[in-house]
Amino acid sequence: MLIRIPQVLSPEEVAQCRRVLEAAAWADGRQTAGEQSAKAKFNLQVPEDSRAARELGDIILRALGRAPLFTSAALPLRVYPPMFNRYDEGMKFDAHVDNAIRYVPGTNGFRIRADVSSTLFLTDPAAYEGGELVIEDTYGSHAVKLPAGDLVVYPATSLHRVNPITRGSRWSSFFWTQSLVKDDGKRAFLYDMDMAIIGLRQALPDDHPSVLSLTASYHNLLRRWSEM
């Protein structure tokens, strides 16, 4: 399930992120990659323990809290602290699958399971060429290149890559979510139900029997499938 979520960050928040990142120190992105991914990864990242990463991570986490579509799609239990990367001309990230388990920095070995991957774009698409996030699923390949401030979420089990940059520079934030429902098929089913409920509520009163019945079924399925 691949979901595009527009305007997670406002233009003002995007501008603030850009200002902080312009002054930040960047390091080789392979420092935070697993053994296999490090062979495919050619980009720059802001160190996870830096002041810039913490400051901007807080902005993004607050923005996710006011993004109901993210909640519907990811059903978050825990969100990994947002990280920040940069692809300059010639940089890329070849096909890979994200690590299943992530150790949370600044904790005593606390781990989360990466169920859902997210990329939040921080560069206007006209400012660079190439750099598409290409996600493989059972329906083929999907190339994603979104406006600054927009987010894409997709299963962390997906094979994906970032195409080489041929002009300009692409900046983004990326992070993972441990979902209440780890199975992607069940998460997709619940997302479709939630969208149907929203549509019904726009067409019918909230106390209409069909609205009440479908809402009850949604929450009972979530209760059965969720892991706490």
| Triad 206, 211, 214: Cα angle to 5° | 145
> What pLDDT score was predicted for residue 130?
98
The answer to whether the beta carbons of residues 87 and 162 sit under 8 Å apart is: yes
* CATH number for the segment(s) 3-179: 2.60.120.620
What is the topology classification, in CATH, of domain 184-225?
DNA Excision Repair, Uvrb; Chain A (4.10.860)
> What pLDDT score was predicted for residue 33?
63
**Distance between CA 85 and CA 31 in Å, rounded?**
12
* 170 strand-pairing partners: 87
> What pLDDT score was predicted for residue 138?
83
The answer to whether the beta carbons of residues 82 and 174 sit under 8 Å apart is: yes
> What pLDDT score was predicted for residue 79?
97
> What pLDDT score was predicted for residue 180?
98
- Backbone dihedral angles phi then psi of residue 208, each to the nearest 5 degrees: -65, 140
Low-confidence ranges of the chain (pLDDT < 50): none
pTM: 0.94
The answer to whether the beta carbons of residues 92 and 170 sit under 8 Å apart is: no
**3-class DSSP state of 195:** helix
* Domains 3-179 and 184-225 in one fold: no
* Residue-range domain boundaries for the chain: 3-179, 184-225
**Beta-carbon contacts of residue 7 (< 8 Å; ≥ 6 apart):** 149, 150
> What pLDDT score was predicted for residue 35?
63
**Distance between CA 196 and CA 134 in Å, rounded?**
28
> What pLDDT score was predicted for residue 133?
98
> What pLDDT score was predicted for residue 204?
94
